[in-house]
Chains A and B, each alone.
Chain A
Amino acid sequence: MKINRWVTLLGVISLLFLHGKTSVGAQQKTIVLGTTTSTQDSGLFEVLIPIFEKKTGYFVKTIAVGSGQAMVLGQRGEADLLLVHSPAAEKKFVAEGCGINRRLVMHNDFVIVGPSEDPAKVKGLRSASESFKRIASAKALFLSRADKSGTHVKEMDIWKRSGINPEGEKWYQQTGLGMGQTLNVAAEKKGYTLADRGTYLALKKNLELSILVEGDAILLNAYHVIEINPARWPKVNAAGARAFANFMVSRETQGIIKTFGVDKFGSPLFFPDAGKKEEELGR
């Protein structure tokens, strides 16, 4: 009989615990934001979301996955809005009627990082595709995210421009992991990889990797918000998505983005761009 009492007690306790926060009726108060690992790993949302929630009373569920997966969630109407960095795929996404109101929020840039010994001698090169060519001809280890994230799409883009197909090469290894973990693998194996500057700076203290190539126009990394088209997916929280998108491009938020990370890393991780056109960036 003793066990019986225990079970009842535990049952009551757990019911008490679960009461409240998880009520199902509050659905339209929650916003599902599909976004990239880079924005989560940098810690930006931990600053921005509490401000938004306090202001509006919405509850934001951030689902941090690669840009590719985030867009698939959007395509199926499983997210309310996206904050992603994969411009070509985004344009297609909007053209197909999945998303509306695509707006530029901020940018940073991609950098090619690698061991300071730099076996492929790419340090200081201006051109990303030239650097990739040298890495390929030196058969130096390169780590690819290979997860259809914005970073991976950009990497494929650069390989294409350099006229090399690295697929299947021995020196080309695919991690299938997020940015932070891929950087850790690259550091551990002394390989090269393509990373967004924000994540690299945030993790730099634990990495024995240096920035070797930066500043090429192709390395620009722009983040857009896209609201999921409520005409196609009626269950989407359109009002909430609009409110969050507006918040991201508001003057106050843009001001926070501008200074985010300066205290910790000495330089900002993202540059606010609301209202600008994508073509104007990086000039």
Chain B
Amino acid sequence: MDLILEGIKKALWLLLTLDPEVRGVTLLSIKVSGTATLISLLIGISIGTIVALSEFRGKRFFVSLINTGMGLPPVVVGLFVTIFLWRNGPLGFFGILYTPIAMILAQAIIATPIVMGITLAAIQQLPKRLQLQILSLGATRLQMVWILIKEAKLPLLAAVMAGFGGVISEVGASMMVGGNIKGYSRVLTTATVMETSRGNFDMAIALGIILLLLAYIINLILTQIQQRERPR
């Protein structure tokens, strides 16, 4: 118990004094996971919507793949991204292994199926008649899609939260493709693992608390938006 109190005290101290190293690690966590979530939103929402609105052979098979992808293990993603990005690997010429860009790439791969799966479910649960109604009022197809996405705003914001929550808390892929390099690719989760293995449990607990706080604040903001826009 002492250790946990010690950790909470340390977390408060690090936050109050704006410890530069912890600040850097926290900012990088936000940058990497935020960018990865944005990329996953672009890809996930567009493909998710297209799949939801179209009928094609093998759709069920494709959807089952997406749904499985929602549970992609980060270490497996990390392993494959690492092998692809090796200097002598197929994408080695980019030279981005052990950089924050590689971490964004891996996290985007983790978050995209999550966003896609939730988008798919959200758009599919809208009444089929709605599409016809919108079209009969003279909207173009593109306008119709846009209106449908706006209609599904609540579950889509849930997709944002799930995607972001998935990547900000993941450690396996970030460790492998980022390398946990001090002041460069060290994020809250990898720093927590390292401090634990160094036996600095108070510091590890403090970093864990900061991570939880960060996730809470971001979800609070998103929830505010979501609940404000709730249809009456």
Chain A positions within 8 Å of B, measured between CB atoms, are 2-3, 7, 10-11, 14, 17-18, 21-22, 24, 27, 32, 37, 40-41, 43, 46, 49, 59, 61-64, 76-78, 177-181, 183-184, 202-203, 205-207, 233, 235
Q: How far is the CB of B111 from chain A (nearest CB, A)?
A: 14
Contact across chains for B87 and A203 when beta carbons are under 8 A apart? no
With an 8 Å Cβ cutoff, the count of chain B residues facing the other chain is 32
- A37 to chain B minimum Cβ distance, whole angstroms, is 7
- Would you give the 0/1 interface string for B55-89, flagging 1 where the beta carbon is closer than 8 Å to chain A? 00000000000000000000000000000001110
Q: With A14-B31, A18-B101 as known contacts, state yes or no: A180 contacts B198, CB within 8 Å.
A: yes
Given contacts A17-B27, A46-B182, A181-B196, 15 further A-B contacts (CB under 8 A): A3-B153, A3-B225, A11-B38, A18-B100, A18-B101, A22-B96, A24-B94, A24-B96, A43-B198, A59-B184, A61-B181, A76-B88, A78-B97, A179-B197, A203-B199
| B106 on interface, CB distance cutoff 8 Å | no
Known interface pairs A14-B35, A62-B181. Does A77 touch B88 (Cβ–Cβ under 8 Å)? Answer: yes
Indicate whether A78 sits within 8 Å of B86 (C-beta atoms), given known contacts A27-B95, A37-B197, A62-B181.
yes
Is the C-beta of B34 less than 8 angstroms from some C-beta in chain A? yes
- Chain B residues with CB under 8 A of A64: 180
Decide: B198 and A10 in contact? CB cutoff 8 A.
no
Cross-interface CB contact of B199 among A18, A61, A205, cutoff 8 Å: A205
- Selected A-B contacts with CB under 8 Å, 22 pairs: A2-B229, A7-B41, A14-B35, A17-B31, A21-B100, A21-B184, A22-B96, A22-B99, A24-B94, A37-B197, A41-B197, A41-B198, A43-B198, A61-B179, A61-B184, A63-B98, A78-B87, A78-B97, A178-B197, A180-B199, A181-B196, A205-B199
Q: Return B204 CB to nearest CB of chain A, in Å.
A: 11
Give Cα A24–Cα B85 distance, bound, in whole angstroms. Answer: 13
Contacts known (A22-B101, A27-B95); A235 close to B197, Cβ less than 8 A:
no
A63 to B86, CA, bound (A): 13
Complex contacts, B101 vs chain A, CB 8 Å: 18, 22
Q: A27 to chain B: which residues have CB within 8 Å?
A: 95
A202 and B99 contact, CB distance less than 8 A: no
User: How far is A43 from B31 in the complex, measured between Cα atoms in Å?
Assistant: 27
Residue numbers in A under 8 Å from B194 (CB-CB): 40
B97: which A residues are within 8 A, CB to CB? 78
- Please pick, from B31, B41, B198, the residue contacting A202 in the complex, using a CB distance under 8 A: B198
Q: Nearest B residue to A24 by beta-carbon distance?
A: B95
On whether A202 and B199 interact (CB within 8 A), knowing A14-B38, A17-B31, A78-B87, the answer reads yes
In the assembled complex, the CB of A109 is this many whole angstroms from the nearest CB of chain B, namely 20
How far, in angstroms, from A258 to B196 measured CA to CA in the complex? 26
With both chains docked as a complex, state the minimum distance between the C-beta of A171 and any C-beta of chain B, in angstroms: 24
Known: A24-B95, A61-B179, A63-B179. A14 touches B34 (CB 8 A): yes
Residues of B within 8 A of A180 (CB): 196-199
Residues of chain A within 8 A (CB-CB) of B88 are: 76-78, 233, 235
| Interchain CB contact under 8 A, A62 and B34 | no
B201 contact set on A, CB distance < 8 A: 206
Q: Which residues of B contact A37 (CB under 8 A)?
A: 197
A77 contacts B34, C-beta separation under 8 Å: no
